[in-house]
Amino acid sequence: MITKLYCLSLLALLFYLGGGMPEAQAQGERFGIRFENRGNTSLVFPDPFIPGPVQVNNWNLALNGSFRKKIDKQKLGLTTLTLGAEYRFTRLNYAGFEVAPGQALVQNLHAARLQIDWVRVLNPKKPKWILALLFRPGIFSDLEAFDWHHFRLEGAALLSYRANQKAIYGFGVGRSAGFGRTLILPLLQYTYRSPKFVADILLPSRADVGWIKKKWYWGLNASIVGNQFQLGNLQNGFPGSDRAGVSDLTLGPVLRYKLSENNYFLLEGGVTALRRWEFRDDRRDGDQRFIQELDPEPTWFLRTGFQIRY
């Protein structure tokens, strides 16, 4: 019962720190690998940087792994520590333009972080409340030069309450760059699980509902996916910018098939909306930090992968 409560309390919170890795942590993975491709979209840059619209597409490769250990004396799972690591590579491809002399456009982006999760059942006799503390120290960069600005600490704290056998409510606070900027945001969680229906909601980041039938899971997902990267090569961004932020709203169906006891095949697709790219210079103050904001057109995405769960 305690182990089940522990897993349910973290379904949505772990995604909030995924930095654009949908489903990567949301189901308590021991190992996961995913490949994502996005279609061409039109992006309008200001003159004289690049005249006219540019066609942009990208693909992503994500890997994550972790192990979990009970650290209370009775090994009952009252206190659990999870240690892991995540890596995500993004490749941006451009077509139909020539940049201004002395400028370039960022193509390769890297996000590598450690996963440190401490979870405690507050009252083992009445396991209604769970406190979760999550830490994500990592590097978010184009890796063309490196200093301490490329390092960032993200994290979250969530207090969850188990209302009954199926429903869990939670609230907390988190620090993440999922919206393209590093923000501290309040978190509201609702999780519902029955043998045939699942709802996993964490505001303001995601909403996920699905139906289970034998080895199949069919669902619908809406998620904010993004990150913020430090640019070591200043020619990769707009003149004067040293950071790039990206954020998308992704909408679409989710399919998961149970291959064996803890092994699953994943397939997800749909459209992106409310897209935003941002170039900024945090060495400046106030609104002068924001060098340029862009609004890519919506496009399709397709994501496939494999996961091993606990």
Per residue in 231-271, pLDDT tens? Answer: 877 665 666 678 889 899 999 999 999 999 899 999 999 99
What are residue 309's DSSP bridge partners?
29
Per residue in 117-144, pLDDT tens? Answer: 999 988 877 778 999 999 999 999 988 8
Per residue in 51-65, pLDDT tens? Answer: 667 788 889 999 999
Residue 25 pLDDT > 60: no
Per residue in 190-220, pLDDT tens? Answer: 999 999 999 999 999 999 999 999 999 999 9
**What 3 state SS string does the chain have?**
CHHHHHHHHCHHHHHHCCCCCCCCCCCCEEEEEEEEEEEEEEEECCCCCCCCEEEEEEEEEEEEEEEEEECCCCCCCCEEEEEEEEEEEEEEEEECCCCCCCCCCCCEEEEEEEEEEEEEECCCCCCCEEEEEEEEEEEEECCCCCCHHHEEEEEEEEEEEECCCCEEEEEEEEEECCCCCCEEEEEEEEEEECCCEEEEEEECCEEEEEEEECCEEEEEEEEEEEEEEECCCHHHCCCCCCEEEEEEEEEEEEEEEECCCCEEEEEEEEEEEEEEEEEECCCCCHHHHEEEEECCCCCEEEEEEEEEEC
Selected residue with higher pLDDT from 164 and 287 = 164
Average pLDDT of the chain, as a whole number: 84
Domains in the chain: how many in total? Answer: 1
Structural domain harbouring 149: 2-309
CATH code of the domain in which 132 resides: 2.40.160.40
What pLDDT sits at residue 237? 61
* This prediction's pTM: 0.84
